[in-house]
Structure 1
């Protein structure tokens, strides 16, 4: 059963609005006590303010529920509670008005986060980018959750070189099936409007297939208040995408459909997770909901 982390007196979760409006679904953020995890918590807290939504901090431990020596509490439990309490403190300092809860849940982190995603509107995870052995484990969690989540997943790197200033948000169109472009466009446009930033749309597919997402005037019709720029990126390697997009406050794309050898994500997505220093949003493809199997595509990663 989920365990709510004890909160000291006087620091209880902020109550929601007193009116009768239904509360928005929460944002879920994974907390592991690491530096990159806390960076993700800060990003999630700021996003919760923008969305006027509650925030749910989740820490999963496979040994939760197992008894220690002589029936004592498992030794992992104090560390898990410490990680969620630290994340709670970060939220209180970052966004005092956000309603926040913390949970320590049993089981594998990927499975726990996917369960939490079912009732959420967004999942936020931290990821490191230096390539150390222990960081590859964290990268695996973020990759597997982003590849299977029914909700968009934002992956926040440990560090970002320089600031983004007035740089635009970026949407990458054309990495999956034609039908996958619309969810990416909707997500990216709404995020850009929430932050008051412009949006740069990178078109990686030369054949637009008549889809509205590849048509600049139709974007303007749907979002007349959105400042838009469209740029073609033919032959979308990872390096070309980063050169055209970064640094950016947020890089949005479809989560893809996996590659050969049952890998959870396409090669380009895996490459970007290792090399991108800006937050990345992976939007679930349409086939994840409909059950339709997309055709295989091969995209260069270098």
Structure 2
């Protein structure tokens, strides 16, 4: 039996969707009490406010027993409650209108966060992003979650420069299979629209192909309300991606590809996780099965 604590706040009237609009799924953010995790809490709170969605703060640790001894509280429970309470306070100070809850979950953080993402629309994590070798433990958690999550994952760096003016959101296409580009493009367009930002579309394939995501005219037809620009990036490397994209409020790219049980992150994704100082969104591919309802989708998990 899991040990959890929940501190809900009622949703304000302004956050409720219209009668004909489906309710927004939760934004889930993982926290371990570190400063980079609290930075992720701030980002997630702002994103939940933009979406009109609830925020769920999750703290997972292997050191929180599944049950106490003879009915006693687990010894790690006070520390877990302290971590979630601090994150809750940060969220409330960021935007008190966002309905927020907290939960402490025993077990492996990667497994707990991937499970939490299944009932959410977005998962948010923090990362140190210094390029130093000693951050690889933190980076490995972000890598494993981004590779396994059934929902998009935003990784927020500890150092978050504030791009001023009208700096665009950036989406990089062509890093995986062609079929990976459409969900990445859709997510990036929705995020730019919510934030009221322009969108820079970076094309990394040497050949344009036949998909609409490779055609500037098709982008304008599908998203006439967005301020769009396009750039070709031949010979993709981590340094070239950063030079073209950053600083940016959000860099969106695919979360890798593969079968339903295996979706590895390649060297480029891992390098960007260690060196990019802007928030990055990793969008998983979507697999559709014949015979399902039009809205039924199966997301790759591993």
Please tell me the TM-score bracket, short chain as reference: 0.7 to 0.9
Partner of 1:157: 157
**Structure 1 match to 2:80:** 80
1:210 aligns with: 210
Q: Pairwise CA RMSD of aligned residues?
A: 2.4
- Relative to 1, partners in 2 of residues 1:131 and 1:223: Cα closer, same or farther, differing over 3 Å? closer
Give how far 1:25 is off: 1.2
CA contact (8 A) 1:29 1:58 kept: yes
Structure 1 20/263 Cα, relative in aligned 2: closer, same or farther at 3 Å?
Answer: closer
Structure 1 residue 77 displacement after superposition = 1.8
Deviates more, 1:138-147 or 1:18-27: 18-27
Q: How many residues align?
A: 285
Cα-to-partner distance string for 1:69-104 (whole Å, 9 max, x where unaligned)? 887533322221111101111111111111111000
TM-score between the two structures when normalised by the length of structure 1: 0.87
Provide the rounded CA distance (Å) in 2 between the counterparts of 1:26 and 1:55. 6
Question: Which structure 2 residues correspond to residues 6-21 of structure 1 after superposition, within 5 A?
Answer: 7=7, 13-15=9-11, 17=13, 21=19
- Normalising by structure 2, report the TM-score: 0.87
User: Which residue of structure 2 aligns with residue 97 of structure 1?
Assistant: 97
Q: Look up the SS of the partner of 1:123 in the other structure.
A: strand
C-alpha displacement of 1:287: 5.2
Q: Is the Cα contact below 8 Å between 1:184 and 1:252 reproduced in 2?
A: yes
Q: Where does structure 2 lack aligned partners over 5 or more consecutive residues?
A: 289-296
Structure 2 Cα separation of the partners of residues 19 and 140 of structure 1: 37
Change (3 A) 1:20 1:198: closer
Question: Per-residue deviation at 1:50?
Answer: 0.5
User: Within 5 A, what are the aligned runs for 1:102-117?
Assistant: 102-117=102-117
CA distance in 2: counterparts of 1:174 and 1:15, whole angstroms = 40
Deviates more, 1:220-229 or 1:64-73: 64-73
> How far apart, CA to CA, are the structure 2 residues paired with 1:208 and 1:151?
27
Q: Specify the alignment match of 1:137 in structure 2.
A: 137
CA distance in 2 between counterparts of 1:210 and 1:133 reads 41
Q: Deviations over 1:14-65 (max 9, x none)?
A: 3354788453210100011000000000000000010000011101111323
Answer yes or no: is the 8 Å Cα contact 1:253–1:282 preserved in 2.
yes
Corresponding residue of 2:293 = none
| Kept in 1: contact 2:123–2:154 (CA 8 A) | yes
Distance 1:208 1:44, change over 3 A: same
Task: Give the gaps of 5 or more residues in structure 1.
Answer: 293-302
Does the CA contact (< 8 Å) of 1:257 and 1:266 recur in 2? Answer: no
